[in-house]
Each structure stands twice: as C-alpha cells, then as structure tokens.
Amino acid sequence: MAITSHDVARLAGVSQATVSRALRGDPRVTAATLDRVRRAAEALNYVPSEAGRSLSTRSSRRVGVVISDLTNPFYPHLVGPLHDELERLDYRMMLFTERSESAIASERLLDRSIDGVVLATATLDSALPDELGRRGLPYVFLNRESANAHADSAVVDNEKGGRLVAAELAALGHRDVAIISGPQDTSTGRDRELGFRLGLAEAGIALTERHIRRGPFDFETGYRALPELWAQDPRPTAVFCGNDVTAIGALNAALRHGIRIPEELTLIGFDDIPMAGWESFDLTTVRHDLHEMARASARLLAERIDHPELAPRKAGFAPELVRRGTHAKPA
C-alpha cells in the first residue's frame, strides 16, 4: 500500500495536519517538529501528493501564464524571471500559448486547476479578464493592461517612453518623423504612440498620417513598413518603432534597400531586449526593467491569491532612453 501523510504523522508522533504544514514550509512549525517530520518522511520514502494537497487545501500551487506568441523574442525575457519568482513563492508555472483567448478561457484557465493567472498579452477589448473576475480567479496584468478591468498590474509607463523618444528627436533637429506603431487594441501600442504624438506636439512637430504605419509587434511589421515610409515625399529622417522586434525588422529592411543608419535615417525602438544591444544592431531604444517587472507581477498575484480583498495595485516602471548607434542629427 502507498505511504500516506497519516503514516508519517504516526511515526513522527504528530497530527496529519502538522505533517502537511511542515512539508509545505509553514513558518508556524517549530524547527524540532520539522526535523521529526522530515526524518519520518525520509524513513518511509514518503513523497507528498500534489493531487492530495490540492484536495485538502483547495490550492494547486499552480499559476497560469497567458502569452499568445512565444516566438516573439520579447516574451522569453519575461518568462525566465517570472518562473523563478513564482518558484521562490512556492508556485509552479503553467504556460498557455493558445492564439485564441476564448479557447483558453473555456478549456483550461477556468477549470480550477490553477490558483491564479498572469496575463501578458491581453488586448484592450479582451473579455478574458472580466470572465476571470466573474469566476473568482485572481489575475494580474504583466506588460499590458485591459481597458475595462480594475486589476493588479506590472507595467512600464509607455506614454512617458513615447515622450522621451519625441523629445530626443526634437533635440536632434528632426522635423519629418514617422512611427511604426503596434496594434491599437493593446495598451502598449496605444500609449506609446500617444506619448510620441504628445511629445512631438509639444515640440511643434506634426506627425502626418502618411508617416504612420501600424501592425503586430513583430519583425515583419518593421520589415514591410520601412520601405513604404522611405518612399514617401518628403522622406522621414527618423522613425520610432513600437518595440525592439519591430525596429530590428526595420533595420534589416534598411540594410536590404541600402538605407544608411543613422547617416540617412534615425531608428529608435522600445523595451531594450538583449538583442537590441548586440553589435550587429546597436539599437537606440527605450529601456525598462523587464526582469523586475516580471518578478513584480508574480508577487502581486501571490498576494492577491492570499488576500483577495486588497484594492487593485499597480507596479509602475520608469522608462529611460538608451543611446546607442542608430540615431543622429538629420543630414
């Protein structure tokens, strides 16, 4: 017969509840009791059952992380520190990468096999946050926010980041500027573009419609959009890209079409993913602490799971401009 926690309790001379508390690291268990329980468990070759623990505590110690496109180089830099922080908090991470939020909600997120959810790729009109709230499943926004949800979030000040880029371009003397923006149904796409527009307006610079392109935050968006912008009359002398992946796509398009960066065209990205600092890209960009933002979301969610009555909290991260080799004064 399989060894159970009741067997460990009898050998250690404590209650079954004390065994459960000791093996999950409850600080109320004394060092002496913890030692007795561990010795008894080792003597019996006892391995705690996650399924049994979930039934007794109504907690799975699992957290779901929703990321719609793991092929985007941005997201792996969130997953690593998020995993490590959740592990430190005694949670296991389950990654959900389905393209459809409705499929995620109906099939697995809401089956009570997890204790909470990190939403890393939510859109502004997503119904998933409201559905999670209606079902009483704690969640936190990471990197993005939703329009109608009042929930915990860990995000960079995207509007301020857009303003920083606009101020830099104005100080360099650029007047004909363009933007390759992200999707307008995301808080990152909307707010970075908004900050850029406001910053340009404050500097007396107009952003014309012909100098605006939008698309997913991916390589292809930048690769396709840059030649279109370069064909405009007048040509832009500077382009702000909604994220680094888009900017890297634009850099590759510039290389293909013989556009010299930064002599003929300034390019600036956003996020400062490690690739941005590679010598082959040397991208001027907007930096924020990706790793700490991910860790903060894990802490916010763990606190929300333990204290559902808390008012919504926001961990905000300040952006800063990182000047590398893709910006210059206009020719």
Q: What is the pLDDT of residues 110-158, one digit of tens each?
A: 656 789 999 998 888 888 888 888 888 899 999 998 876 679 999 999 9
- Mind listing the pLDDT tens digit for each residue in 216-234? 999 999 999 999 999 999 9
Q: How far is CA 276 from the centre of its chain?
A: 17
Instruction: Report the alpha-carbon angle 122-123-129, nearest 5.
Output: 55
Look at residue 128 in the predicted model and tell me its pLDDT: 85
Distance, CA of 157 to CA of 319 (rounded, Å)? 7
Look at residue 320 in the predicted model and tell me its pLDDT: 98
Task: Write the CA distances from 227 to 48, 222, 239, 263, 312, integer angstroms.
Answer: 59, 9, 12, 16, 44
Look at residue 27 in the predicted model and tell me its pLDDT: 76
Distance, CA of 43 to CA of 286 (rounded, Å)? 56
- Specify burial of residue 159 (Cβ count, 10 A radius: 0-12, 13-18, 19+): buried
Look at residue 130 in the predicted model and tell me its pLDDT: 85
Predicted confidence (pLDDT) at residue 62 exceeds the cutoff of 60: yes
Grouping H, G, I as helix, E, B as strand and the rest as coil, residue 226 is helix
Token pair for residue 92? 């296991």
- Specify burial of residue 243 (Cβ count, 10 A radius: 0-12, 13-18, 19+): buried
Average pLDDT over residues 155-173: 98
- At 182, phi and psi to the nearest 5? -85, 180
- Mind listing the pLDDT tens digit for each residue in 172-199? 999 999 999 999 999 999 999 999 999 9
- % of the chain residues with pLDDT over 90: 66
Residues whose CB falls within 8 Å of the CB of residue 76, separated by 6 or more in sequence, listed in order? 70
Helices and strands, counts by H and E, the chain = 12, 12
Among residues 128, 50, 129, the alpha carbon closest in space to that of 90 is found at: 50
Average pLDDT over residues 164-175: 98
- Mind listing the pLDDT tens digit for each residue in 286-311? 999 999 999 999 999 999 998 999 99
- Mind listing the pLDDT tens digit for each residue in 30-47? 999 999 999 999 898 887
Q: How confident is the model at residue 106 (pLDDT cuts 50, 70, 90)?
A: very low
Predicted confidence (pLDDT) at residue 3 exceeds the cutoff of 60: yes
Grouping H, G, I as helix, E, B as strand and the rest as coil, residue 141 is strand
Q: How confident is the model at residue 51 (pLDDT cuts 50, 70, 90)?
A: very low
- Mind listing the pLDDT tens digit for each residue in 236-294? 999 999 999 999 999 999 999 999 999 999 999 999 999 999 999 999 999 999 999 99
Total-model pTM: 0.81
Question: 251: how many CB neighbours lie within 10 A of its CB?
Answer: 26
Instruction: Give buried/exposed letters for 102-135 (b at 16+ CB in 10 A, else e).
Output: eebbeeebbeeebbbbbbbbbbbebebbebbeee
